[in-house]
Structure 1
């Protein structure tokens, strides 16, 4: 949060947004680092609310959400804002909160999106172009769809793609379309299956955990990973309005790659099965004999 505040104060403005800050010669996108850290901290607060009902942990988690979302909107970075809101809402639901609260939060998010549509020109422009392509420039998504069409099932071959020569952000936001053109729909389906496997496996391991913090944190990190991948692929396929979001471990990027790496690293640490110590095995054996 401190880095995001510094970005807002001294970060350079690029295309109307302040999202990057240079520290010791390294460009950092602080919002990327904030995502997994936010998920783990929110998970801890929800876990504490189940252990100690007298602790206002849920209210603290809501304050944390509003703080981070407010800073992201000020950048502005509505893609990361929507991602954070969806992951927090999923954690809120997993923690056993009442459906009426979940629906209320979803309604509040919808109102916020509508307000952004009314007040922020580039958000309105993206939504209008998505609803009516003739209303503005749709070069990026049109070129991405052309790449899918060119690639067919098996692609044109490594390095033989045509769309990447003219497609902006072909190495980051639209790398999925480039992969489709060069390696075909088969590779896209394999990537989709891999992302789905990671998310489903992590959620199943988290569900079996008896530690509420490990369960919530692993679930939140898995959902963060899966939703980010889904947003990127959906933008490439013109299923949702365009927004800048990298494809996990496929897109080029420094801050995003580091953030994803330690997020998945924490997810592995939280879901791994630790071997029993000798004393734990003896205690379990004694308990079984007594039973």
Structure 2
């Protein structure tokens, strides 16, 4: 019995993409390093007794996330679909309850408090949404009597509606871009995809003219006051860091940024470790995206292919948005840098996403096309 179990574990390990595992673990390691750099300043700003409060919690979430990643990566294709369905129902249900039981932070109700842990259901919505949408598209494409695109559109509408109520326009934009890309990948003509893009742009315009806080955020981005604007301070970190950085723990910008260990952790990396370290982080995300996308293209199962591509887009676009905010290219979105920013829900959900991707791309007989 023990020998058989060891053989199954060995077979699972051999089938996993080692490059994806290495990149994810490397990003988690980078996050712990930057948490050590930025965490004490955040703890000091909040008058916490323990200067390593955020590092300790970050490490605990990282360990729990890795365990979740390993467990999820062992799932079958059917298991991936089932657990994603449960996660989708659960996250949508909790998001619907947020106005009643949610915890308000900075004017947004996105978290449910469980003791010292704040659960953000929308983080788990993203991978679950991607997998289920991919399954619906695949079912329709193979001729199943299921209006896959229509059901997918309804799920998207409900998801976006609940995100806007919070409000969380950053996640709304991210989910919308991924949904449009998956529609196109599933065979929707580009003219219809472009039409959906125009409709999305129209909704953003409506949001701008009807919601005061959206106008205020964009106005602050377009005409910032350098002495207090977060994005201006974040951009300053790149100038201060230069090529090699000022040294670990020597940065000053992190003491001025309220979210230095979360939204603006990339700026901490730029100041203390320099441009080369920043480019290395970008390179890790590029390799993660390219490897996942390449594996997706080689898969023969249409559902696994679409889901893997969608998850790759999740990692790529979320990293791109966070880095663009740090470079003051777009307004702040409150979006974490995958696997690096401090945040329990984010770490667990992203490790769950990575586990799903590893399960979908795990080598199985007949799962891949043979290409010379």
Report if TM-score (shorter chain) is over 0.5.
Answer: yes
Query: Could you tell me which of 249, 252, 260 is aligned with 1:162?
Result: 252
Matched, 1:152 2:242: yes
Q: Conserved in 1, the CA contact under 8 Å of 2:117 and 2:344?
A: no
Q: Conserved in 1, the CA contact under 8 Å of 2:103 and 2:113?
A: no
Q: Give distance in 2, aligned partners of 1:245 and 1:27.
A: 16
Structure number with the bigger relative contact order (C-alpha 8 A, sep ≥ 6) is 2
Local SS of the residue matching 2:113: strand
For 2:268, the equivalent position in structure 1 comes to 178
Q: In structure 2, do the counterparts of structure 1 residues 150 and 25 end up closer, same or farther at CA, with 3 Å as the change threshold?
A: closer
Local SS of the residue matching 1:181: helix
For 1:70, the equivalent position in structure 2 comes to 161
- Count residues in correspondence: 275
Q: Conserved in 1, the CA contact under 8 Å of 2:239 and 2:271?
A: yes
Shift of 1:272: 2.3
TM-score, normalised to structure 2, is 0.71
For 1:289, the equivalent position in structure 2 comes to none
Local SS of the residue matching 1:13: strand
For 1:197, the equivalent position in structure 2 comes to 287
Matched, 1:50 2:141: yes
TM-score, normalised to structure 1, is 0.91
Q: How does 1:93-172 map to 2 (within 5 A)?
A: 93-133=184-224, 139-172=229-262
Local SS of the residue matching 1:19: strand
Matched, 1:216 2:306: yes
Shift of 1:17: 1.4
Q: What RMSD in Å do the two structures reach over aligned CA positions?
A: 1.5
Q: Give distance in 1, aligned partners of 2:221 and 2:115.
A: 40
Q: Give distance in 1, aligned partners of 2:214 and 2:317.
A: 20
Shift of 1:129: 2.4
Q: Give distance in 1, aligned partners of 2:116 and 2:308.
A: 33
Matched, 1:251 2:307: no
Q: Conserved in 1, the CA contact under 8 Å of 2:336 and 2:346?
A: yes
Local SS of the residue matching 1:239: coil
Q: Conserved in 2, the CA contact under 8 Å of 1:89 and 1:105?
A: yes
- Which consecutive segments of 4 or more residues in structure 1 shift more than 6 A? none
Q: In structure 2, do the counterparts of structure 1 residues 25 and 6 end up closer, same or farther at CA, with 3 Å as the change threshold?
A: farther
Q: How does 1:24-43 map to 2 (within 5 A)?
A: 26-43=117-134
Q: Conserved in 2, the CA contact under 8 Å of 1:129 and 1:137?
A: no
Q: Give distance in 1, aligned partners of 2:304 and 2:99.
A: 33
